Homo-oligomer: A and B are copies of this chain.
Amino acid sequence: MAATDTRRQIVEAADRRFYEQGFEATSFADIAADVGLSRGNFYYHFKAKDEILDAVIALRLDNTKAMLEGWEAEAATPRERIGRFVHILIANQTTIMAFGCPVGTLSNELAKLDHVARRDAAELFILFRRWLARQFAELGRTADADELAMHVLMHSQGVATLAAALGEEDFVRREVEAMDAWLDAIAAGTEPASSPD
């Protein structure tokens, strides 16, 4: 098999394992078994476990950028685009209730491990933050676009954590509905400038 192809398979398997098991709990043997590769050959593609983590984060950044660009192409209004983000919670409800949010949980784990890649993982949040802020700015909220973006991120993270901990589908649905109503108020200009709650 071509080296680039094997490498891609390794990164994709690692991506899944890191999300479902966590970075620390995933061994080379796990990933090698997924790809159908011997542990030894692993080091031809990656010299160390940290390098796989870097590659996984890079992959997630690429995938996220592609997803955000897709939303911009598909959805006509900023209101719709932000709605797409919020509705990930429902689209990915099953995996989120099982493993939490991939961005938030990786960030949490790397923080505890005091891992050098902690900052790189935070770039995923920053990507969403900038994109959301741009949408709010297009809605006319230029002054507090970043605050509103952080508020949406905060809301999604909180819902994901509680959904994974308590496993209540109604709660997720209810909070997404509340977020939709709040977004409608923002888009209609009937929400105050400060204290987005």
Contacts and interface: CB of A to CB of B under 8 A. Distances in A.
Contact of A109 (B109, B153, B154, B174): B109
Interface string A112-141: 110000000110011000000000000000
Interface in A172-195: 174-175, 177-179, 181-182, 195
A164 B111 contact: yes
Contacts of A25: 24, 112-113
Contacts of A150: 162, 171, 175
**How many copies of this protein are present in the complex?**
2
A107 to B, nearest CB: 4
Given A122-B166, A166-B122, A195-B177, A21 B153 contact: no
Contacts of A174: 147
Given A147-B174, A177-B195, A165 B104 contact: yes
A197 B171 contact: no
B125 A111 contact: no
A36 interface: no
A99 B112 contact: yes
Interface of A: 20-22, 24-25, 98-100, 104-105, 107-109, 111-113, 121-122, 125-126, 147, 150-151, 153-159, 161-162, 164-166, 171, 174-175, 177-179, 181-182, 195-197
What are the 3 tightest A-B residue pairs by CB atom distance, in nearest-first order?
A158-B158, A154-B158, A157-B158
